[in-house]
Amino acid sequence: MSLHLELGSMVEAAFGRDLDAPPEQKQDALVVRLKNGVTLYVRYAAVDAYSLRWVDGDAESGIDTAPLHPSLATFPNHFHDANGHIVADPVTHPDALPQDNLQKLIRALLDDPMLGVRKLA
């Protein structure tokens, strides 16, 4: 998908000094490795349909737009935290440009890979 190519170029230009390696293009994803140890998997099916998943050590989290949780204030987008809870998305919005959502998420992950959630032991 050409959007992934565009997003990879944007990430490299905007966050080059924060990257552990250049963004990697996969068949269906963009992989972004941050110097703080976070690996982010970016998948856009359309500008308003996305899955943004990341790993920090053994903690996995993600944001997506699968319309499965209508009771959340941010429906259809939602956040899967590292504790397995599904809550309102604190970062992205399906009406925003993919570049804007991805920049906001990367900035947030550079500040706090858990997005304020403490992993339960």
47-56: pLDDT as tens digits: 999 999 999 9
Which contacts (CB < 8 Å, 24+ apart) does range 97-100 have? Answer: 97/47, 98/3, 98/7, 98/44, 98/47, 98/50, 99/6, 99/7, 99/10
The pLDDT mean for the chain works out to 94
DSSP reduced 3-state for 105: helix
Tokens of 104: 């906001």
> Per residue in 76-120, pLDDT tens?
999 999 999 999 999 999 999 999 999 999 999 999 999 988 766
Residues 6 or more apart whose Cβ sits within 8 Å of residue 100: none
Average pLDDT over residues 18-22: 97
Average pLDDT over residues 35-43: 98
Percent of the chain having pLDDT more than 90? Answer: 93
Q: CA dist 16 to 10, 11, 23, 43, Å?
A: 9, 7, 9, 20
